[in-house]
Structure 1
Amino acid sequence: MEQRHLGRSGLRVSRLGLGTMTWGQETPPEEAAAQLTAFVEAGGTLVDTAGIYGDGDSERVLGELMRHVVPRDELVIATKSAIRADGRYDASRRHLLTALDESLDRMDIDHVDLWQLHVYDPATPMEETLSALDEAVTSGRARYVGVCDHTGWQLAKAAAWQRAWPGRAPIVSAGVEYSLLHRDAEREVLPAAEDAGVGILAWSPLGRGVLTGKYRTGIPADSRAATDRYAEFVRPYLSEQSRLIVESVVTAAEGLHVTPLAVALSWVRDRPGVTAPLVGARTLAQLQAILDAEKVTLPDEIRDALDDISDI
């Protein structure tokens, strides 16, 4: 798997990141072990987690796997902080540094490669929040820092603040939802990231699963849309406009003799400014389909056609 620099930093990561939101809950430890093994064997290095995932279970499972399945030094570990267990946003210096220490304890490691602000907290001054990122890097608890789900102006302000004074930890990544069904990031976030030399980590690159085509004839009983927990998460992408985009993806896939998943993933992965899409799978079979699809590169004419169809 190709390795890419994260933004204009020296950190190299695989062009596909493994998301672990379901680990320890929908994905049991033994299944997570099989996933991590397959991912690394395919050349993957970037593994994304968060302190809030499964009340810390995702990090605990990942820590166990680094002790017994895949050595720590073969992975680029990214985690996130700024959301409390009750769902409240808190990017205060006190909470962030405490949360980072808790993440390190759960994974039983002394540092993460990438520590990210999970959300923007309007109740905390940005300079206070960013000072916590500086402390994490200077203390050795994090090698690089980034942000997630920030607007264009929030990203630009944070990146500019960090580069305004020598010794501050630069923002190197921005996590944002990005897919053929959700291109809002192109309006402000992607231009801001390009200007600041920040790499994009695109979450939900398969349109919350809809771009795989599995919802074309209804809601499968074993799908996320059929569960109480995820139904509202998927529902916005089951509109008529989304259906037309999905049908175009399916048509392109049939013409190329690949899967709709491969078309949708390739489109995001090779967009300007994107370092890596982040993909999560509940099962090894789902991950293997993603890894197989990762090898596909879209012809320019197909990419241009999908650009036009999804530009809404």
Structure 2
Amino acid sequence: MKSIQIPGVYKPVTTLIQGSDYFTPSKFESVCEVLDRYVAKGGTTIDTAYIYCGGESEESIGQWLEERKNREDIVILTKGAHHDRQGARVNKEAITHDLHVSLKRLKTDYIDLYALHRDDLSVSVKIIIDTLNEHIRAGRIHAIGASNWSKERIQEANEYAARNGLIGFTFSSPNLSLAKANEPFWPGCITADDSDIQWHKEHQLPLLSWSSQARGFFTGLYSKENKSNKDLVRVFYNEENWERLERASKLAEEKGVTTIQIALAYVLNQSFPTCALIGARNEEELDSCFEGSNIILTDQEIAWLKGEEVIA
């Protein structure tokens, strides 16, 4: 499986990152099947978060790591400081609390990739970067990132870190997909647009995309007439995306692959380091993602998929 390097992490981060937002200890046998299959395919990196399944996602992964005794082979990406019913929680106390809880659940003393799950513009980047660097110095975190942060805030945070001899964000995790979002899938979420893509290209900051395959929009199960999935209708149903779907289907036919594999390849063939968070639950889905991750797209093909120009 292909991989990238992220500053601060000595292990390879595979371009396919296994998602776990449905993991629970009550279905531990299924969790083991998913993770064992993923690792056997060459995967190293697992995505989770403090809030997933009320913490049961992290607990399941921790149990699996303990039983398999493979912690040093695995890259853990977890996220904290998500808002709650009282509001935003991007502050020193919440970050520290969530991190310690995550470490306990995961049965580990360090997190490879730690991301703040949301942003709070009312909190200065000084407080955030200073807090995260305390945990880096303590060895609890190896690399820090921003999930659903704007490029402007990431740059502000990294400029502060550089001025003060601190470690800044070395990865970002917004949504990036061939389908353009009408609105955020969840409140406070960020979808990378053309200006974000250009910024990542200029800074070469690794991007770890969630919903990289637009939550099934490119599977062929949906059409303009099929409005059974209200979230897909709300977020991805627009004329531009139907055109992109048509183009992806045509290119897939030419290459002898599936449309959803082309959608995945679009994410993984950007001009800066990218990874795709995947939700493969069985062998067929994992094989599809693996094959899609090996498809090479040219710059001209990527532009054509977006409707920018015709393939020469």
**Class of the TM-score when normalised by the shorter of the 2 chains:** 0.7 to 0.9
Amino acid at match of 2:169: I
CA gap 1:260/1:93 in 2 versus in 1, 3 angstroms: same
Match of 2:5 in 1: 5
Match of 1:216 in 2: 223
Match of 2:128 in 1: 129
Stretch of structure 1 that moved more, 78-87 or 108-117: 78-87
CA gap 1:116/1:233 in 2 versus in 1, 3 angstroms: farther
**Once the 2 structures are TM-superposed, how far is the Cα of residue 254 of structure 1 from its aligned partner?**
1.4
**Once the 2 structures are TM-superposed, how far is the Cα of residue 282 of structure 1 from its aligned partner?**
4.2
Stretch of structure 1 that moved more, 258-267 or 284-293: 284-293
Give the secondary structure class of the aligned counterpart of 2:99: helix
TM-score, scaled to structure 2:
0.86
Match of 2:211 in 1: 204
**Once the 2 structures are TM-superposed, how far is the Cα of residue 81 of structure 1 from its aligned partner?**
0.7
**Once the 2 structures are TM-superposed, how far is the Cα of residue 39 of structure 1 from its aligned partner?**
1.4
Segments of 5+ residues of structure 1 without an aligned counterpart are: 226-230
Amino acid at match of 2:179: L
Cα separation, 1, equivalents of 2:149 and 2:9:
19
Cα separation, 2, equivalents of 1:213 and 1:253:
12
Cα separation, 1, equivalents of 2:128 and 2:9:
21
Amino acid at match of 2:168: P
Amino acid at match of 2:108: I
Q: CA deviation digits over 1:273-309, x for unaligned, max 9?
A: 2331111234444233222322222355533321325
Amino acid at match of 1:24: T
Cα separation, 2, equivalents of 1:186 and 1:8:
27
Cα separation, 1, equivalents of 2:245 and 2:223:
8
Match of 2:260 in 1: 261
Cα separation, 1, equivalents of 2:137 and 2:238:
47
Give the secondary structure class of the aligned counterpart of 1:198: coil
Which gives a bigger RCO, structure 1 or 2 (Cα 8 Å, sep 6+)?
Answer: 1
Map 1:55-74; keep pairs closer than 5 Å.
55-69=54-68, 71-74=70-73
Cα separation, 1, equivalents of 2:28 and 2:83:
24
Match of 2:197 in 1: 190
Cα separation, 1, equivalents of 2:24 and 2:86:
19
Cα separation, 2, equivalents of 1:290 and 1:304:
22
Match of 2:176 in 1: 178
Match of 2:188 in 1: none
Cα separation, 2, equivalents of 1:281 and 1:122:
34
TM-score, scaled to structure 1:
0.86
Equivalent pairs counted in the alignment come to: 301
Stretch of structure 1 that moved more, 79-88 or 122-131: 79-88
Stretch of structure 1 that moved more, 280-289 or 156-165: 280-289
Cα separation, 2, equivalents of 1:235 and 1:70:
43
Match of 1:298 in 2: 297
CA gap 1:61/1:10 in 2 versus in 1, 3 angstroms: closer
Alignment RMSD, CA only? 2.7
Segments of 5+ residues of structure 2 without an aligned counterpart are: 182-190
Cα separation, 1, equivalents of 2:125 and 2:216:
34
Match of 2:19 in 1: 19
Contact 2:15 2:293 in 1 (8 A): no
Match of 1:115 in 2: 114
Cα separation, 2, equivalents of 1:44 and 1:164:
36
CA gap 1:253/1:147 in 2 versus in 1, 3 angstroms: same
Amino acid at match of 1:139: A
Match of 2:275 in 1: 276
